[in-house]
Amino acid sequence: MTYAHDDFDTLPRMPSWITSSRPETLEDVAFLSGAALAHLHVVLDRSEVPQSLLRDRLSLTAAEACIVRSGRSERAGELRDAVHLLRSGDLPGPAGETYLTWRRAVERPNSVKTLCRALPGIEAGQLVEWLDAGQGSPVSRAAAVLETVLTQAPRKEIPALILADAALAQALGRDHLVPLLAVGVKRADLRKRGDELRLACHRAVTRSTFDAVGLAADLARRADRLNAVAPKLRAKGAGAAVEMFLTRDAVAPSELPLPDRAARRLCDRLVDLGAVRELTGRDTFRLYGV
């Protein structure tokens, strides 16, 4: 989803020249991606941005982008269903597993331990080797990691993108992985190498950073609204429920720390107050989020 400039009213606006320019050289494209990342860095450090919620929603966006590039038909709503409506003992399916992989990659501080948890099929030593493949500026390092993984393991596109975004976050000094490259790269970009791949990565980062800033502003306003109505909630466990909404892309009533009927009533109350949205459009098996 692309966010309009009207969404940038609570956080610093990204200068329009960053996205309106159409540079061709690697040097010029790299300058714009650096400017975009510098602006995102400022936005991410703002206290009003719900960081965990932003990362969780971006993990859904990254998972959906990976699914689209693979040629599968599932979209965000189906990915949410695959994860949040999963019953004990059930398997999430390939699309749901992609979403879970991204969620695990972003929910804890960026480290080899976190990446091993997200990518259990890859040994820690191999992850370290791939992460160390990048040199230079943040995007160049990320592009080098992406190229190295795809060259050595062409079928591991999702691990390659996760590791590239992890390398980018590490180079930027961010504590957590923020999906950017995975959101912005195109299917054809993953077949490029060398300067062509670096050029594609710079452009991808500029596009996805613009959208991430818009999403951050949108979620900051929505979180502010939820915090404003929270004192009106009288249900026992409402505080813990509000915290879940402030950290998760979507929540099923059954996940809330309340009895089933009370949880459904709380969700309906929050919708009436304009603090959360029902995300599915269904009468049953509903999911809610800010």
Per-residue pLDDT of the chain (290 residues; tens, 9 = 90+): 544 444 446 688 899 999 888 888 999 999 999 999 999 999 999 999 999 999 999 999 999 999 999 999 999 999 999 999 998 888 999 999 999 999 999 999 999 999 999 999 999 999 999 999 988 999 999 999 999 999 999 999 999 999 999 999 999 999 999 999 999 999 999 999 999 999 999 999 999 999 999 999 999 999 999 999 999 998 889 999 999 999 999 999 999 999 999 999 999 999 999 999 999 999 999 999 99
For the chain, which domains are there? 20-219 (no CATH), 233-289 (1.10.10)
The per-residue pLDDT for range 79-119, each reduced to its tens digit, is 999 999 998 888 999 999 999 999 999 999 999 999 999 99
Residue 161 CB contacts under 8 Å (≥ 6 apart), including other chains: 62, 66, 146, 181, 182, 185
**Alpha carbons 271 and 200: distance in angstroms, whole number:** 41
CA dihedral 251, 247, 38, 206 (to 10 degrees): -10
CA gap 241, 249 in Å, rounded: 13
